């Protein structure tokens, strides 16, 4: 037997409000309309729903059971309405973010945490990926936002890139590294120590090759590769190895005092960190809200990062 869900909702409202008129007012309906619905429900189940002659209305055992289901429908309807309103406002929903590993770990994940403190109704699903995978995932609708460093590259008319931080790479090492005390620093000094290689496919790999050419090296002594940001930091902190990292990543980890900027000026890529999105597609309000939070956070942060960068006394002439 199939029952009309609206009739069950009205039954629950009438019992909870204590009368037909009160229940109708609760649901925004008229008293005659609710009375007709209850009569139709009684006819459908062929059993009385109220004990006759009782005021306020008292349900029969069957009426009470059906009212329980009606309350569940009302609650589900309200949750659905809240979900719609939250989605439109961007305060609920799922945001799928793809990002390059080191930036996500050092900076973006913290901003996501801050964002969720104020927006607890939004779930963030993060994936690690570089630019080619990110562009493909955006085109396929698998992610909502990409956070990636991009250089002079035409992604086509289907993408929009919003810069959040100018790019700058540095050579990083442990604070007590022998080269931190050497002045002036020369290119051959960098050849005497092992290196940590960036993740495969990372833009830092091409940057490392560019540095290799600038200091006249044919090859690097790679002693560690393929690690996460934490593992790279651990290796640098425990050895005399060197690594190419974004300045912003070292800045984000400055309070830990485990890695430092080696003041050797290296060739800089024409690349910026930013948010990559599709154009001419429906965008998730929650994703736009998160993107706005990240953009605003970097508006304040990038000036502080620049001051720290300017405070470095580079131990060689600018390349």
Asked whether residue 56 carries a pLDDT value surpassing 50, the answer given is yes
Asked whether residue 92 carries a pLDDT value surpassing 50, the answer given is yes
Would you call 121 helix, strand, or coil by DSSP?
coil
Distance from C-alpha of 174 to C-alpha of 155, rounded to nearest angstrom: 37
Q: How confident is the model at residue 85 (pLDDT cuts 50, 70, 90)?
A: confident
Q: Kindly report, residue by residue over 151-167, the tens digit of the pLDDT.
A: 756 577 889 999 999 88
Buried b (16+ CB within 10 A) or exposed e, 207-217: bbeebbeebeb
Domain ranges of the chain: 5-89, 93-319
Residue 194: the pLDDT is: 92
DSSP 8-class letter at 108:
I
Average pLDDT, integer, range 262-268: 87
Residue 265: the pLDDT is: 87
Q: Which of 261, 247, 264, 272 has its CA nearest to residue 319?
A: 264
CATH 3.40.640.10 fits 93-319, yes or no: no
Fold adopted by 5-89:
Arc Repressor Mutant, subunit A (1.10.10)
Distance from C-alpha of 235 to C-alpha of 225, rounded to nearest angstrom: 10
Percent of the chain exceeding pLDDT 70 equals: 97
């Amino acid at each position: 037997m199939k029952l009309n869900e609206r009739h069950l909702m009205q039954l629950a409202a009438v019992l909870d409000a204590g009368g037909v008129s009160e229940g109708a007012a609760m649901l925004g309906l008229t008293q005659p309309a609710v009375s007709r619905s209850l009569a139709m429900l009684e006819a459908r189940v062929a059993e009385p729903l109220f004990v006759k002659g009782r005021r306020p209305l008292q349900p029969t055992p069957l009426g009470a059971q059906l009212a329980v289901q009606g309350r569940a429908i009302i609650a589900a309807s309200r949750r659905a309405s809240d979900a719609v309103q939250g989605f439109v406002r961007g305060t609920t929903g799922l945001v799928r973010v793809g990002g390059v590993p080191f930036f996500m770990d050092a900076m973006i994940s913290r901003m996501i945490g801050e964002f969720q403190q104020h927006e607890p109704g939004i779930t963030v699903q993060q994936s690690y990926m570089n630019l080619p995978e990110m562009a493909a995932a955006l085109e396929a609708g698998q992610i909502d936002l990409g956070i990636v460093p991009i250089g002079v590259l035409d992604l086509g008319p289907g993408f929009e890139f919003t810069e959040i931080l100018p790019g700058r790479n540095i050579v990083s090492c442990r604070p007590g590294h022998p080269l931190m005390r050497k002045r002036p620093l020369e290119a051959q000094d960098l050849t005497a120590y092992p290196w940590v290689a960036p993740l495969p496919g990372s833009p830092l790999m091409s940057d490392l090759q560019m540095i290799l050419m600038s200091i006249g090296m044919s090859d690097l002594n790679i002693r560690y590769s393929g690690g996460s940001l934490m593992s790279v930091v651990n290796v640098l902190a425990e050895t005399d190895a060197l690594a190419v990292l974004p300045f912003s990543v070292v800045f984000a980890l400055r309070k830990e005092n485990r890695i430092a900027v080696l003041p050797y000026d290296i060739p800089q890529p024409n690349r910026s960190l930013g948010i990559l999105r599709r154009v001419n597609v429906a965008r998730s309000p929650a994703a736009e809200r998160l993107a706005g939070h990240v953009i605003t956070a970097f508006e304040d942060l990038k000036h502080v990062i620049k001051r720290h960068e300017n405070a470095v006394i580079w131990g060689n002439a600018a390349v």
